[in-house]
């Protein structure tokens, strides 16, 4: 399933056949016009989709891959101007807890984005109510978050505040309290995305403006990230970093590999996919490759490793509007399928449903 950056709102269900190596549009599900989903995710059962939907955070019941039903939408919380049509604030990211009470955590972006939103869910997993607007700072604009494996601590990448934040989660209520924050390695790095190893030892932080991937270890006592002073490039050396913006970073299903992407700021240039070999406790052993993507990526170029196999990865772009499947085999990456969908704002991130 794949969302869009701009109205009209829609969720696209695309089928990948791993024998014929083909992609097919199965259904375009119409959703509220002014609620395009720039980032979507499943709940822990894959029976609900949660979306960052412009001025709202939304939930959808997944009856089947082609029957997706809108449940509810809640306005952005926190700063009173965040949900106003007069501000440029928009919902940008959403994260579903995998442990009880299964709250859903959302981030607004651009102006008035100094608060994260916490939503409770009903018995079916649909969004129920905004139960907390937890603090970052007035300068913050968070773009990505990740829980540690125990779901006791939340790590947030603050692009505009140039920080990585740590919050502690209450195991009963799911509410968050600030532990602290650390500055990005260099001023203007703009941390955009975070991923964590299942060991809980290593945190990977993608820097949008720095166009690199930074390796951190988690302090066992404070649970704060500590920079290892090791970074890896997400665009080839010698290029102007101002022409690129790093995008997302994700582990493969086995956590033996890590993938990260960057986007180009010109349609005349390409983005890049980088892959990394990961050690048993999460250390990056080495960078395997850094290869061009077919387009600039637009707002997207979001890599989405398959969550039931290391073999397949999806890549979406809203430069031309398409989704691609790559095969990762013997540490080489090959594009095996592409489907162009020229609808407005297609395509944001892809989520896998088997």
Rounded CA-CA distance 244/37 in Å is 24
Alpha-carbon distance 54 to 38, whole Å?
8
DSSP reduced 3-state for 176: strand
Q: Which of 260, 270, 315 is nearest to 14 (CA)?
A: 315
What CA–CA distances, in Å, run from 50 to 35, 59, 279?
12, 4, 32
Contacts for 83 with CB less than 8 Å, ≥ 6 apart: 55, 75, 76, 77, 89
User: Is 245 an annotated catalytic residue?
Assistant: no
Pick the catalytic residue: 70, 74, 190, 192?
A: 192
CA quadruple 134, 139, 144, 147: dihedral sign: negative
Sheet with 39-42, edge to edge strand ranges:
39-42, 48-53, 56-64, 67-75
Residue among 223, 263, 299, 319 flagged as catalytic:
263
Tell me the residue ranges of DSSP E strands in 208-270.
Answer: 212-218, 225-233, 244-251, 257-264
Helix (H, G, I), strand (E, B) or coil at 218: strand
Nearest to 74 by CA among 46, 51, 47: 51
- Active-site annotation holder among 167, 208, 245, 319: 208
- Over the Cα atoms of the chain, what is R_g? 19
Q: Note if 192 is an active site residue.
A: yes
Geometric angle at alpha carbon 113, from 51 and 194, rounded to 5°: 65
Q: Quick check: 323 and 23 in contact, CB under 8 A?
A: yes
Q: Is the peptide bond before 101 cis (omega within 30 degrees of 0)?
A: yes
d(Cα 123, Cα 183) in Å, to the nearest integer?
Answer: 39
Catalytic annotation on 139?
A: no
Which position has the token pair 């650390």?
182
**Which entry of 74, 143, 245, 299 is annotated as an active-site residue?**
143
Known active-site residue 143:
yes
**35: exposed, middle or buried (C-beta count within 10 Å: 0-12, 13-18, 19+)?**
buried
Q: Which residues are the active-site residues?
A: 143, 192, 208, 263
């Amino acid at each position: 399933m794949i969302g869009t950056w701009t109205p009209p709102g829609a969720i696209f269900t695309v089928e990948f056949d791993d024998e014929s190596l083909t992609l097919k549009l199965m259904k375009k599900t119409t959703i509220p016009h002014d609620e395009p989903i720039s980032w979507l995710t499943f709940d822990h059962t894959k029976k609900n989709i949660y979306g960052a939907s412009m001025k709202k955070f939304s939930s959808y019941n997944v009856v089947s891959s082609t029957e997706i039903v809108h449940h509810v939408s809640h306005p952005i919380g926190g700063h009173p101007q965040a949900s106003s049509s007069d501000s440029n604030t928009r919902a940008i990211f959403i994260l579903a807890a995998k442990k009880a009470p299964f709250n859903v955590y959302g981030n607004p972006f651009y102006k008035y984005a100094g608060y994260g939103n916490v939503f409770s869910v009903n018995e079916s997993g649909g969004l129920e109510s905004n139960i907390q607007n937890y603090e970052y700072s007035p300068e913050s604009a968070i773009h990505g978050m990740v829980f540690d494996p125990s779901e006791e601590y939340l790590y947030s990448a603050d692009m505009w505040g140039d920080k990585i934040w740590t919050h502690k989660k209450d195991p009963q209520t799911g509410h968050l309290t600030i532990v602290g924050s650390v500055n990005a390695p260099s001023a203007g790095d703009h941390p955009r995305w975070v991923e964590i190893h299942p060991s809980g030892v290593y945190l990977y932080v993608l820097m949008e403006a720095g166009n690199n991937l930074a390796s951190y270890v988690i302090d066992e006592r404070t649970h704060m990230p500590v920079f290892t002073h090791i970074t890896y490039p997400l665009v080839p050396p010698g290029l102007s970093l101002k022409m690129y913006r790093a995008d997302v970073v994700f582990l493969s299903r086995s956590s033996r590999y890590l993938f990260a992407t960057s986007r180009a700021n010109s349609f005349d240039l390409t983005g890049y996919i980088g892959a990394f070999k990961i050690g048993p406790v999460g250390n990056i052993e080495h960078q395997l490759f850094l290869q061009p993507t077919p387009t600039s990526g637009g707002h997207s170029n979001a890599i989405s490793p398959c969550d039931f196999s290391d073999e397949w990865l999806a890549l979406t772009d809203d430069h031309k509007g398409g989704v691609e499947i790559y095969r990762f085999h013997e540490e080489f990456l090959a594009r095996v399928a592409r489907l162009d969908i020229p609808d407005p704002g297609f395509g944001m991130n892809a989520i896998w449903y088997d």
